[in-house]
Structure 1
Amino acid sequence: MYARWMRRLIEPFRRSIRNKLMLTMIVLAVAPIIAITALAAENNRRSMEEEVISTTLSNMKWTGIHLGSQFAQLNNLIYTVLISPHLSDYLANAEEQNLSSQFTSQRNIIDTLTNLFYSAGNHVIGVELYLKDYNKLFTIHASSSDIASLQAVPPAYKLLFDQNRDFTVTTDRKDPGRFELIRSINRFENQEKLGAVALQIRWGMLDQTLNLLRRGAEDTVIIASADGQILYQPSGIAPSPVILSRVAGTGEAQGYFRADHEYVFYSTIDPVGLKLITVLPTSFINESAMNTMKFGLIVGAISVAVAVLLAVLLAWRLATPIVRLARSVQGFGMMKERGPRPSYRVDEIGLLEMKLDQMAHRIREHIKNEYMITLEKKSAELKALQAQINPHFLQNTLQMIGSMLFMNSPSDSYGVLRSLSDMFRYIIREPDDLAPLRAELKHLSDYMLIQQQRFAARLSYSLEVDEAALTSLIPKLSLQPIVENAFFHGLEPKEGAWELKVEVTCREGDTVIHIIDNGIGIEADRLAGLRRSLEGRDSSRTSGERIGLGNVAARTRMHFGSRYGLELSSRHGQGTIVTLTIPQERNEMKHDQGAGGG
């Protein structure tokens, strides 16, 4: 039954070229629209993801610094009590003083705490001073002040003493909207805990700073303790204990990771050691992609309807002459056959194949030869078009120039702008695929000047050139892609200082260019695969958004022959050497290659 229905479905297309052509054109019209819509949505999601991650990490860094500054100011307020001469006198002489002197000393301490309270601002709602040896608790609030003699150590201070810590930050259990910053009073000689000073503070004093991290109604901003306990959460849904435990267990001061349904960013707040956590749901990033998909579906549906209509009309008009031709060719039966190939088709095209096989064979051979020549030319043009400035490099350069306009002298900013302008001029205004090595090195120097401005503190660059090699011709935009790959794959993943060296020498009639870096190197298995690809003919091979080494190698072989091209040597963890070999003094090849279509 299934086979019978399949035959009925396929039969109209087997016996009619019209139906085949209609179906093919409909598929060719509809498939690209669907693919482009899906690809646009995914690219938009990835771009949004990269922007959100970069921006959030930057905001986390600066917000953490600002929060640290606020906590440092609170610490400074406490230090005004710790260094108070009234506190020192009381600790030194409390047991020897009479009642009148004790009253005066305590009154002085109350005055000191009162001054701190009124100078601290509206967010500080209370100040306490606890003295362990005397079991005295001095308390200051907006409407009252008190001195109490206690029978036991208050829980908050007991935690500080038991853990032998210099300070703690804890949320008030009765009022989650405020917290206590407690700092111990230590004896100078042996750091013995004599007591502590506590500030009772509203968490709201940090809201304005935390709002810098808010990107939507669904995100969550948290201040947590070093062990992952939530201290303050102004909004959002609390993350799972697993996420908090993972944040607490990381040894990094700042970073992020992706959980099942959210992105989690974290940063350490110095000097108190608290964790600043931001949780963004993946729906925030996917929202833009979904909007693109919705508009794409609307446009795609309209485009599909129009494409189907045009495909049917066009297929009908194209197939009608073929049908008439097939009927006309039936009169050619008396012509002498020259070994026709058997045809297994039963439609009009099958008849054409059988009657015109000899002529098609000769034409096919001619077309094949012409096609291969044209394909080589088009491939060369494609490779030249692929050689363009990496958009991420351009974005980073423009951002750096913006920063330099505020921080550096005009001459420094102009130098970078001039180098970037020369790079574009070299790419756009030089029409030939071959360029003098002198011009190629100038383009590389412009690129490296920009990189040295970006990574001045880490990058060391040197160039050694044999003057006799400067007139050699080289495929345009060969060196800068190699150096860019050295940055992306070798130097950027490496910690510490970067070293990049370019050496140009002449050897036995050839020009040899070494590009040496001290990056992370290449593992043996991957190095073997890269060497095999450099020996092949896959000239369109690229690496992400950058021109691959295979592209440079293929263009070099295309212009100068198989004995020229790229060699690669590397050891994992010890750097990489890329060697490019080209002929020396090949100025005459510029005209020869043009005559040959290369």
Structure 2
Amino acid sequence: MVKTSIRNKLIVLLLLVTIVPFGSAIFVTYIYTKESLNDQAIQTNLNLLYQGKVNIEGYLSELNNHTLSIYRNVDFMKHLKISPFPYDYLAQRVISNMLLTILYADDDIQRVSLSGIESTSLVTASRRSSVAYFENVIDPNQENNLVAKVSPYNLYIKSNPQSKEKGLTSFTLHRSIVNVPSSEVLGFISLEVVPRKVGQLSKHLYDEGKEEFYIFTPEGNVVYSSQYGVKTENAFEPWGQKLLEASELSGSIIWNDENFHGVIVYETISPHLGGWMLVKRLPYHTLHESAYGVAMINIVFGVIGIFIAVLATLFVSYKITSPIRILVKNIRQVEKGNMQAKFQSLGSDEIGVLGERFKIMMERINKLIDREYKLELENKTNQLKVLQSQINPHFLYNTLQSIGTMALKSKNKEVYSALTDLSQIMRYGMNTDEGVVSLVKEVNYIKAYLLLQRQRFSDDFEYILDVEEDVLDVKVPKMTLQPIIENYFKHGFHANDGVGKLTIECKRKESTLLIKIRDNGTGVSEERLCDIVHHLNAEHNRGREDTNIGLKNVYVRLKLYYSNKATFELQNLDEGGFLVTMKLPLEIGGSRDEGNHR
């Protein structure tokens, strides 16, 4: 009783009404905030990487301009066209001055190298030594020069993995020297650079300890890493490989593996400046940090709101249900037989009115008990009279059987046959256990009925019973055909007007059972037919129940069993007579059994 009390239901309902919206609002707000901040953080970091790309491109562009400055030195280009390694003092001085000018143009440039097209001679200028000339040596930049030769108008930047300090890797810029305006390559110039400026520019692009930042060459080598200890070569981890294979120059990808769960954003530097890729890895816990803060604020206020709602719920529920409990207590007293239960006023609201009406009702009940007792005695007396007037059906069957036996002994087969048909009709009609029967039972029943009518009217009556075998097992409501046939003998058949004919057809038509009952009787007038149809369709027919009760009964029962899936049509025939047509579904919906509801 406690578990199903109104008070508990009301408490649960009010708590659901308050907790579910609060909880849903917190959850939806958190999800929306998390997604919004996630998208905002990605876009912010893309913008930040773009600005970093612009800054680094500007720095690389300065270094690139140093390599291009040789084209402005006419003497240098003239001697280089003759031989990149002249032996006269004047030519060597021009080349040395050019290399030293480039070397000291930027503090990050540590070495400048000039090599010929054959890569057997080399000129270097470094901050540790003066200009040095080497002949018949293997150029350490030979492979890099070949790559630069493929794209003579672009920089080729190669990281130096053997030179690494605090996440910084030195790199070398390689450029082909072209004999413009032709495309002839005269030699190669290389600038070895320490990434001090690159490190300074990169530190503004990530939050150390929360985010990871890398700079990759197009080959996958690491130029800069915010994580110490990262390999500078073969940085082809799955996520790095995916970025290098990306067709877009900038964008973001979602990455989840055992080492990282989050978003990776990237930006690519122009190919003519080396094509570096700036990569930033943003873990989910960093991206969603702001969302967690917002969620916690919502949760705190939500808990406070829920606590207040719970207190209000308990107060309201107890205030509402207390009068109801008093009323229930008095009702239990009435159940125990105390019909004079008294209680104080339950208030002036609806529950108070209910209590007052309850007391008035108890007074009326006390007055009605005496009258009900008298009515009960009278009812019992009437029931006894009905029982005394009833005849046991088994007694009737036994009596008919005895009469049939006497008819056989008297060799009167017609009387015996009539008694057998009558017995079958009575047994079928008195069996109230079945509301739905197979069509074959209904056909056998009307066959016995028609045989009795045939014996009654002799040659003045004929009938045709045309039933297809494939519909004999179809279920139909009991007593569907007999009331219609009986209606013919009551209203349409007159022995003095000639031979009466009755035709019953039962056959399958598509997915329905088609039943036609046709006679050659007097039929009805059109006005009378309309009146009958109106009588069938009317909901209430008080005062009309003595007419067409058979048709009305059949029509109502068809609607009961088949709803609007069955049709019932009445029609006057042109040649005289009357036609009743029924179309019934082959299956009765709901398995309704009328016999169980009588």
Higher relative contact order (CA 8 A, sep 6+): 1
- How does the TM-score come out when normalised to structure 2? 0.49
- How does the TM-score come out when normalised to structure 1? 0.49
Q: Highest CA radius of gyration, 1 or 2?
A: 2
